[in-house]
Amino acid sequence: MEITDFTAYLEQDGQLLADAAEQAGADAPVPTCPEWRVRDLLTHTGRVHRWATGHVEHGHRRPVPPPADPELPDEQLPDWLRDGCRTLMRALRSAPADLSCWTFLPAPSPLAFWARRQAHETAVHRADAEAALGAGITASAPAFAVDGIDELLVGMQARERSTLRTEAPKTLLIRATGAPGAADAAWTVLLSDAPPRAERIPDPAAPGGAVPDCVIEGPSPDLYLALWNRRPLDGLTITGDTTLARLWPERSGI
């Protein structure tokens, strides 16, 4: 996916997030983040947007702390979120292609990293806002969902802080089925007492390879939400050692 794609999704999901949060009300509980109310969701996401903007605009070579919580009445938080999202989009769209700044995941460039990370950050929290509203969660585009699964498995879960670990080595196969006419995508995830190691399979339809201990598969938008723990694994197809699937919601939180 291109940087322009990520900024377009950021714009779309930022608006959907603010709209759903505004309709739900600041005091509404967020079922996908049980400790949060909608005001916490808006405050967190708005701070992250401004934190990312600072790195992109100022080229920070080291991580800087996010800004403080806003001192605003609840009814102003949705517009505060919208304003921060627009500022982030402008920063990403106006940044030079050779932007140099701190990042925390492998990426083709710092600009590509921040555009991708903030697009998925916003999409996942948009799902949280819609869950709080209770009117159903908007499905992400299949290609965007596949990219988000890839970022989660290959990038986020590979960090040392990941607690998704097993005493004995196990292999998990994640398969995202595409929309009609689109190719599937798949990853092998090696679990052990170290951080998970995931690798995307170049051709998911190719035979051969070791038999995985567990397979989790489903349409990419559903799998995206499930792997980010924004919907249950129920409804996905799970074969093999189902205890590994149950391990996911227990230990894979970011």
pLDDT in tens, 201-244: 987 766 666 789 999 999 999 999 999 999 999 989 999 999 99
pLDDT in tens, 123-167: 999 999 999 999 899 999 999 999 999 999 999 999 999 999 999
| CA-based R_g, the chain, Å | 18
pLDDT at 181: 56
Q: Which of 180, 119, 181, 179 is nearest to 150 (CA)?
A: 119
Q: Using CA of residue 142, residue 147, residue 148, residue 150, what is the dihedral sign?
A: positive
Cβ–Cβ under 8 Å, residues 47 and 64: no
The answer on pLDDT for 34 being more than 80 is yes
Can you count the helices (H) and strands (E) in the chain?
Answer: 7, 5
CB-based contacts of 148, cutoff 8 Å, min separation 6: 120, 123, 124, 140, 224, 228
pLDDT in tens, 175-184: 998 765 566 8
CB-based burial label for 200 (10 Å; 0-12, 13-18, 19+): middle
Token pair of 187 as six digits: 């990853």
pTM across the whole model: 0.95
Cβ–Cβ under 8 Å, residues 13 and 47: no
- φ/ψ bin of 168: left (φ > 0), alpha (ψ from -120 to 50), beta (otherwise): beta
Token pair of 174 as six digits: 């994640």
232 Cα distance to chain centroid: 16
If DSSP codes are grouped into helix, strand and coil, which group holds residue 29?
Answer: strand
% of the chain at pLDDT higher than 90:
91
Cα pseudo-dihedral 118, 110, 177, 158, rounded to 10: -90
User: Cα–Cα distances in Å, from 82 out to 48, 49, 76, 77, 185?
Assistant: 13, 10, 10, 9, 33
